[in-house]
Structure 1
Amino acid sequence: MRPCYLIPMSKLPTKAEVLDWISANPTLTSKRDIAKAFGIKGADRIDLKRILRELEDEGHLEKRKKTYRDPDRLPPVSVLQVKAPDANGDLFAQPLEWHGEGVEPTVLLIPRASDPALGEGDRILARLQVVHEVDHNYEARLIRRIGASPRRVVGIFRKTAEGGRIMPIDKGSDKEWMVETEATGGAQEGELVEAEQAGPARGRMGLPRARIVERLGDPTAPRAVSLIAIHQHGIPDDFPPEVLAEADSMKPAGLSGRTDLRDMPLITIDPVDARDRDDAIFAEPDDDPQNEGGHVLWVAIADVAHYVTPGSALDREAKSRGNSSYFPDRVVPMLPDRLSGDLCSLHEGVPRACIAVRMRIDAAGNKLGQRFYRGLMRSPASLNYAEVQAAIDGSPNDKTGPLLEPVLKPLYDAYDALRAARERRQPLDLDLPERKIKLDEDGKVTSVDFADRLDAHKLIEEFMVLANVAAAETLIAKDTPLLFRVHEEPPQEKLESLRDTAESAGLTLAKGQVLKTHHLNQLLHQAAKTGESELINLATLRSMTQAYYSPKNFGHFGLALQNYGHFTSPIRRYSDLIVHRALVTAHKWGDDGLSVQDIERLETTAQHISDTERRSMMAERDTTDRYLAAFLSERLGAEFTGRVSGIAKFGLFVKLDETGADGLVPIGTLGNEYFHFDRDAGTLMGGSTGRIIGLGMRARVKLVEAAPVTGGIAFELLELDDDEYQSVQGGRQARGRGRGRGKPGTSPRRKLAKAKTKDAKTKRKVSRQRREKN
């Protein structure tokens, strides 16, 4: 109900009375509102207008869009720009509509669980409420976000008479940016630069304006590859001085308040080039006679929560980054090296603070229970995967030999039990070989190989999965908030697409029932016996939803687990740090557990770190693309084999068998005929020949372009399945072998692709007729 604001008056109000009323009624500030409030009618309105004009001239009022307000007060709904978090982790905002004199008012943002994650520079529309506290004047609640911080671009600088231009390095981007002379920042011709938008385009057809904020050096330098992705995706790679100072002031944790685990042989097993070691393991037979053949497993994780406390400078920076980002030539860590490479890294022979979990499993690998400890450990050995596997396979070295019987073999015995449990649980069993890019000392690609997949890798994975389950179950039992790792079931339409792809390869996927991971595994195992394994594995991966973090538990479909939270990597994932703090709170281990702000902002934190995880994935993928393009740039004209990995209206993508590089075959090079792109069927169909191009088809291509700066790769199609492409009068034309020129293929896959195209067109036609009828 709208409040009554009439004030009976028998004469004109004084200036002070007008100012007091406007201050008390900031939403009702037009001349009409003021006149109504004071009961002013007729000719007296002229005198009221005079009073308002005088107050305006004296600077007490400001007239904007026919309303009056105190220039030293903010309107109840204001446009704000978000500032960086303060020392307590609170977000303040700068009012963009304040025109008063003196000290600018301070505005504290009060987040709600449903609000999106806000970052420094974001512009928002917010509802304000006046408060009378010492540290701020207003509290603001988000209405909506109306703009982000200035758009940034990474590109090559080219000098011009007016200053310069920036040629963006994004694949597919041909928009240039204009840089005025005073905004070049001293950049040199051909230099790689980072710039931010400085204003709109000049004129209707002009270029957007930019201001160079950082010079990144030679774009052709090998080590510029990851630097480009880091800046392009806005990943912070320098720690603020206060964060480094806080990290440098840290001292190693002592034994006080901790369980002494220093005599337990908790070993670390990592890649040979590992930059941090945040997990250690140990296993032994269970001596409980009621658990014959069972095992006791220990997983110890670096106690990052001891050093990174809620609201500290380290905490704010870690949360902002969300996670570490890994590139072939460098790591952009979540925490400074004093922590990630030293105090929180479980190095051999030195005492380190940890949070450890003791788990009991039976002979079949079923977990019987767990108990968590806040401890102090000292690892007897830092090992790598290859030497551990070699020791188990009969070739121990000087380091693994003494550990073989007392430490390594019991680990593998426990792993055998966990592997049996995994077989029964049937998590999604994708077989997607990881390609490893090897660089020389100068950062130049020397080879692209398939990474080894050893039992030692699988052992660590199973131990970590079990520990993550134990953490989630413990916190659920203790009714303590946490962040779950969520992976929801794939949507039905994606499963139908996967089913079609499987049928095109002569395989089957179960239908007419609730789909479980074991149904997908049956399909994957069918494909493994054919030449379609990579196609089906990729298609299955694409049918999956993306995993994310949430304070609500929706289960993990891919792992076939109901309760799952990330606990095992707090050095490189903020989600795990939240889980560690939750364990501290649940066990009453100290005052460095979950803060009130941590709990209130779990939803916002989950959204933010899910976003930063995707940001890192895209940056890592772009870096890999650029390194592969650099590697292939010396092999222009060479021929390769691969598979069609993507279909678009502008062409098709082919993934090479040798390196896994993806390149584009432009649609204009496919033939003189017009190709129809069918999004629903995922095909290209020749308008005159009716030939179908679909996912998974074998292809032979010639490399015609590889651009290391953008990562772009282009191919010329030489052969597709059993069709050969030959140049005809400057165009391209298909010639079938044994079927007559230009005739569509008759393989089962092509028949199904054509049927899918026809079915998709029929569905669209029926849908259109229904809309027209309604």
Structure 2
Amino acid sequence: MAKPRAPKASRFPGAKPSSKPAQGLPDRETLLRFIREAGETNKADIARTFGLKGADRKALREMLLSLEADGSLGRRGRRGLAQAGALPPVGVVDIVERDPDGELLVRLVKGGDDIPLVRLAPERDMVGGAPGLGDRLLVRFERLESGELEARLIRRIGASAHRILGVIRKARRETRVEPVDRRTKESLVIPEGEALELRDGDLVLAQVGVSDRRYGPKRGKILEVVGREDQPRAASLIAIHSHGIPTGFSDEAEAEAEAAEPPTLAGREDLRDLPLITIDPADARDHDDAVYAHPDDAADNAGGCVVWVAIADVAAYVRPGSALDKEAREKGNSVYFPDRVEPMLPERLSNGLCSLRFGENRACLAVRMVFDAQGRKRSHKFVRGLMRSAAKLSYEQAQAAIDGTPDETTGPLLETILKPLWAAYRIMLKGREARSPLAIESLERRIIINREGEVASIQPRASLEAHRLIEEMMVQANVCAAESLEAKRTALVYRIHDQPSAEKLQALGEFLGTLGIPWTKGEAPRTERFNRLLAETRESPHADIINEVVLRSQMQAIYSTENIGHYGLNLQRYAHFTSPIRRYADLVVHRGLIRALGFGDDGLTERDMAQMKDTAERITLAERRAMAAERDATDRYIAAFLADRVGAEFPGRITGVTRFGLFVRLDETGADGLVPISRLGGEFFIHDDRMHALVGERSGDRWPLGMRVDVRLVEATPVTGGLLFDMLSEPAPPDATAPRPRLGAIRRKPGAVDAKRRGGPPKGVRKGKRR
């Protein structure tokens, strides 16, 4: 009689438990182990497995809710449960987005918030062309040697139903829509009957249809002609449509804005005697903050100062539940392009009644802050007031006056307003330095657009002390807003920033190790530690790239009703308060202060508070959308600026290393472009993610992150914003301390076995007879 085999261990989450567990209500660890082995289950199956009835079922429900609340379990569909973050061996996914490198990311259809996005592995010779955004697929999840999860396509389930923005390209036999997203290679064929009215170069919004052919492009349906690719301002138009930026305002919202009236003193404190001034970019059209400072004359605060920050009282005009409020919440924020602004509020408010214009009465919410001689805030007080700006200055004007060259506007203000402001800033700077927020430097460039809408020049954006003065005063006002709302136990939307993850810190440490820079892995990731690293390497040849890698190691700030503090600013409480004209988050905080401090009946409503969490999520997504649109428009304008310089050579630096090539940032314009891996020479290159380098398979030559190189521009495509370079420099020599890459590694999947070692022919090759 054959001896029975022992049950096999689960190879991947999703296998059923190998033996029946003991009956009765399980403890927490037993329950988690059962769910982990089951892969996916539900309350009824758990109760049946453990033989639970009556009161035990109720206790099980409470235990499951507790595990879900503390993040140990995640939902799968309506009733399914699984270990948080667990994926089945095979699952149905939707392609939901692309990462910055153009890789497709998928999300499990039945997955909850605990499920991460997973990269779709590229496949060769895909039948019917490559999948695109919106496609639904059946995939197999595999874990690579690096620990990263990857989804491998098994088959398609549904055709993409997404829309694309593209340019009409007419040929003799067919009309196509070429996508403006340079990461999308899929073009659409337009039926002959629909193409008659279209012109070559039209910008169109098209619906992706189903292909009637096994190979080749899918069919498309034209939904809207939105403009022309040769329009001077096409870049921002493309960004708006491709990212779904809401534009314009309804008639109802415009009517509400037009009906708004200038403010009066009713219910307000008169602040018009305070010489508050606005300091903004020279081309700013809206002014939502004004400042004033003077020494504190209190006997117990020698050397201290008083700082006033007054912010436009947008809540007085945008009431909860109004058409203006609904549309501002949907937009989330204003979106700024080099040639235009898509505002959160109509111009009547954003550039009119809510803008703190010089010499005009304006409603404001102001905070008076008192600092001691060491820059520590001693107290603050909010008032709802009526102000009148004493001056409108640009950053450059204010800085020039302080540096000794005042003009006719700043000259009379120098002794009475500007010097006291700078004296207060010097005091506040002591507190900032003691706090030690992250000191990452980022060089920004400004695109100058001429009257015809074309790029006239690209200039580095100056970093002035005047910028830092306004920034620090706004930061402290934001802190005061969060503290006041917390003290009054009023709901608010925090601006939070988490500390770097353990994975990012490990990757940073490994990269620094390749440069011979020590980085203790077990040390807490305090901001002082990053600042010390940046300071110690500031004069080294690796300064720029270390700054870049430290920046990439940080998490993104978000809006949330749950406070974890702001890591980058090194603050325990922080909420956006200072820009309500252009950010909905600030408007919500204003309403909270109005309600908490009894400033009127136009504060937070019960409905506002009930949907606060949803609001935080919405405005976070809106911010991401705006940032992506602004970045894409900038890329397109830069590509248009460089289009007539194809063939020119430029110095730059490698700022990105991927499996398919190198990203190089040009010194002159800050433009980023791609050197495809096929243009790096005849050998195969391995992507070493630990070393952040492409390494020659045979020679060991390296293209590391941060390396200075010279490139030749071979292609600039304004409609997509894409730049393509040829590499002119030679690679760095092999690193004697690094392990040599294995021959053939690039052509083998993780875990693959050579045919000779496995025995028999390679997979997919049938063994034939000898003849």
CA contact (8 A) 1:309 1:592 kept: yes
Name the SS for the 1:616 alignment partner. Answer: helix
Give 2:310's match in structure 1, choosing from 272, 289, 300. 300
C-alpha spacing 1:148/1:436, structure 2 compared with 1 (3 Å): farther
Task: Give the aligned partner of residue 312 of structure 1.
Answer: 322
1:457 aligns with 2:467: yes
CA contact (8 A) 2:510 2:690 kept: no
Give 1:632's match in structure 2, choosing from 636, 642, 646. 642
Name the SS for the 1:604 alignment partner. Answer: helix
Task: Give the aligned partner of residue 131 of structure 2.
Answer: none
Give 2:286's match in structure 1, choosing from 265, 273, 276. 276
Task: Give the aligned partner of residue 196 of structure 1.
Answer: 207
The TM-score normalised by the length of structure 2 is 0.74
Q: Output one character per residue of 1:212-237: Cα deviation in whole Å (capped at 9) or x when no partner.
A: 33323320232111111111101012
Task: Give the aligned partner of residue 7 of structure 2.
Answer: none
Name the SS for the 1:277 alignment partner. Answer: coil
Task: Give the aligned partner of residue 717 of structure 1.
Answer: 727
CA contact (8 A) 1:681 1:757 kept: no
Q: Output the amino acid matched with 1:236.
A: P
Give 1:361's match in structure 2, choosing from 355, 361, 371. 371
Give 1:433's match in structure 2, choosing from 423, 443, 447. 443
Task: Give the aligned partner of residue 706 of structure 1.
Answer: 716
Task: Give the aligned partner of residue 620 of structure 1.
Answer: 630
Q: Output one character per residue of 1:87-115: Cα deviation in whole Å (capped at 9) or x when no partner.
A: xxxxxxxxxxxxxxxxxxxxxxxxxx999
Q: Distance in 1 between matches of 2:620 and 2:275?
A: 35
CA contact (8 A) 1:681 1:756 kept: no
Task: Give the aligned partner of residue 152 of structure 1.
Answer: 163
1:644-655 alignment runs, 5 A limit? 644-655=654-665
1:179 aligns with 2:227: no
C-alpha spacing 1:755/1:494, structure 2 compared with 1 (3 Å): farther
Name the SS for the 1:348 alignment partner. Answer: coil
Q: Output one character per residue of 1:429-458: Cα deviation in whole Å (capped at 9) or x when no partner.
A: 011111111121112112211111111100
Name the SS for the 1:290 alignment partner. Answer: coil
1:154-553 alignment runs, 5 A limit? 154-159=165-170, 164-180=175-191, 186-197=197-208, 199-205=209-215, 207-553=217-563
The TM-score normalised by the length of structure 1 is 0.74
Q: Distance in 2 between matches of 1:114 and 1:246?
A: 38
Identity between Structure 1 and Structure 2 (%):
51
C-alpha spacing 1:206/1:530, structure 2 compared with 1 (3 Å): closer
Name the SS for the 2:300 alignment partner. Answer: helix
Range with bigger deviation, 338-347 or 438-447:
438-447
Q: Distance in 2 between matches of 1:476 and 1:461?
A: 23
Deviation of 1:273 after TM superposition, in Å, equals 0.2
Q: Distance in 1 between matches of 2:708 and 2:531?
A: 24
CA contact (8 A) 1:698 1:720 kept: no
1:687 aligns with 2:691: no
Give 1:642's match in structure 2, choosing from 647, 652, 663. 652
CA contact (8 A) 1:700 1:720 kept: no
Name the SS for the 1:248 alignment partner. Answer: helix
Q: Distance in 2 between matches of 1:690 and 1:148?
A: 43
C-alpha spacing 1:751/1:228, structure 2 compared with 1 (3 Å): farther
CA contact (8 A) 2:159 2:210 kept: no
1:34-183 alignment runs, 5 A limit? 151-159=162-170, 164-180=175-191
Q: Distance in 1 between matches of 2:347 and 2:197?
A: 32
CA contact (8 A) 1:507 1:526 kept: no
Give 1:584's match in structure 2, choosing from 587, 594, 597. 594
Task: Give the aligned partner of residue 110 of structure 1.
Answer: none
Q: Output one character per residue of 1:26-70: Cα deviation in whole Å (capped at 9) or x when no partner.
A: xxxxxxxxxxxxxxxxxxxxxxxxxxxxxxxxxxxxxxxxxxxxx
C-alpha spacing 1:175/1:697, structure 2 compared with 1 (3 Å): same
Q: Output the amino acid matched with 1:314.
A: L
Range with bigger deviation, 449-458 or 176-185:
176-185
Q: Output one character per residue of 1:510-529: Cα deviation in whole Å (capped at 9) or x when no partner.
A: 54321200100011112211
Larger Rg: 1 or 2?
1
Taking only aligned residues, the RMSD between alpha carbons, in angstroms, comes to 2.7
Q: Output the amino acid matched with 1:657.
A: D
Q: Distance in 1 between matches of 2:292 and 2:660?
A: 54
CA contact (8 A) 1:248 1:338 kept: yes
Deviation of 1:157 after TM superposition, in Å, equals 1.5
Deviation of 1:203 after TM superposition, in Å, equals 4.8
C-alpha spacing 1:767/1:480, structure 2 compared with 1 (3 Å): farther
Deviation of 1:602 after TM superposition, in Å, equals 1.1
Q: Output one character per residue of 1:649-693: Cα deviation in whole Å (capped at 9) or x when no partner.
A: 111111111111111111111111111223444322211112222
Q: Distance in 2 between matches of 1:229 and 1:522?
A: 39
Task: Give the aligned partner of residue 554 of structure 1.
Answer: 564
**Alignment size in residue pairs:** 599
CA contact (8 A) 2:397 2:410 kept: yes
Range with bigger deviation, 166-175 or 557-566:
166-175
Q: Distance in 2 between matches of 1:227 and 1:766?
A: 43
Q: Output one character per residue of 1:252-300: Cα deviation in whole Å (capped at 9) or x when no partner.
A: 2211001111111110000000021000000011111000011111000
Name the SS for the 1:461 alignment partner. Answer: helix
Task: Give the aligned partner of residue 667 of structure 1.
Answer: 677
Q: Distance in 2 between matches of 1:262 and 1:147?
A: 64
Q: Distance in 2 between matches of 1:624 and 1:220?
A: 16
CA contact (8 A) 1:653 1:663 kept: yes
Q: Distance in 2 between matches of 1:652 and 1:535?
A: 14
Q: Distance in 2 between matches of 1:766 and 1:165?
A: 39
CA contact (8 A) 1:510 1:519 kept: no
Q: Output one character per residue of 1:716-741: Cα deviation in whole Å (capped at 9) or x when no partner.
A: 111146x5xxxxxxxxxxxxxxxxxx
1:567 aligns with 2:613: no
Identify unmatched segments of 5+ residues in structure 1: 1-76, 78-112, 117-121, 123-145, 724-743, 770-774
Q: Output the amino acid matched with 2:463.
A: R
CA contact (8 A) 1:680 1:757 kept: no
Name the SS for the 1:474 alignment partner. Answer: helix
Deviation of 1:152 after TM superposition, in Å, equals 2.2
Q: Distance in 2 between matches of 1:152 and 1:706?
A: 25
1:597 aligns with 2:607: yes
Q: Distance in 1 between matches of 2:196 and 2:265?
A: 53
Q: Output one character per residue of 1:470-518: Cα deviation in whole Å (capped at 9) or x when no partner.
A: 0001111110000000100001121122223223334333543212001
Q: Distance in 2 between matches of 1:598 and 1:574?
A: 12
Range with bigger deviation, 414-423 or 199-208:
199-208
Q: Output the amino acid matched with 1:485.
A: R
Deviation of 1:339 after TM superposition, in Å, equals 0.6
Task: Give the aligned partner of residue 146 of structure 2.
Answer: none
Q: Output one character per residue of 1:330-379: Cα deviation in whole Å (capped at 9) or x when no partner.
A: 11111110110001100000000010001000011100011101111000
CA contact (8 A) 2:511 2:690 kept: no
Range with bigger deviation, 209-218 or 446-455:
209-218
